Amino acid sequence: KNEVEQSPQNLTAQEGEFITINCSYSVGISALHWLQQHPGGGIVSLFMLSSGKKKHGRLIATINIQEKHSSLHITASHPRDSAVYICAVRNRETSGSRLTFGEGTQLTVNP
């Protein structure tokens, strides 16, 4: 079993819909990251969080440390949100700044 599991693997939505992507992990962590990979391949860091909730524009990330679960929400989705969204965790026990990544969720938002 992977340390980091994302669901769903693929998600198709209509413009304007509220979207939720889930991330579950199996290890103790010091931080969780959400990243976005554009269709052209570039990867951008969206959030880093260790507790609670963070919001940036239409994106909201939440984490529940006790349940080892995080969600990424997109409100009022738009076709430009189409991308792969990747969850990554920093294992509390490992040295340095190693991250373990989920396989990603492919999001397609249709107009």
Partner 1 sequence: DAGITQSPRHKVTETGTPVTLRCHQTENHRYMYWYRQDPGHGLRLIHYSYGVKDTDKGEVSDGYSVSRSKTEDFLLTLESATSSQTSVYFCAISEGGGQPQHFGDGTRLSIL
Question: Which residue, 11 or 31, is less far from partner 1 as judged by CB?
Answer: 31
Judged by CB under 8 A, the residue of 19, 63, 102, 107 near partner 1 is 102
Q: Does residue 3 sit in helix, strand or coil?
A: coil
Cβ of residue 76: shortest distance to partner 1, in angstroms?
Answer: 25
Pairing of strands 105-110, 10-14: parallel
CB 65 within 8 A of CB 90: no
Question: Which residue, 78 or 92, is less far from partner 1 as judged by CB?
Answer: 92
Whether the upstream peptide bond of residue 79 has omega within 30° of 0, thus cis, is no
The answer to whether 74 contacts partner 1 (rule: CB under 8 A) is no
Cβ of residue 110: shortest distance to partner 1, in angstroms?
Answer: 24
Cβ of residue 39: shortest distance to partner 1, in angstroms?
Answer: 13
Rounded-to-5 percentages of helix, strand, coil across the chain: 5, 60, 40
CA distance 75 to 87: 18
Note the residues at the interface with partner 1 (CB under 8 A): 2, 4, 30-31, 33, 35, 41-45, 48, 86, 88, 90, 95-104
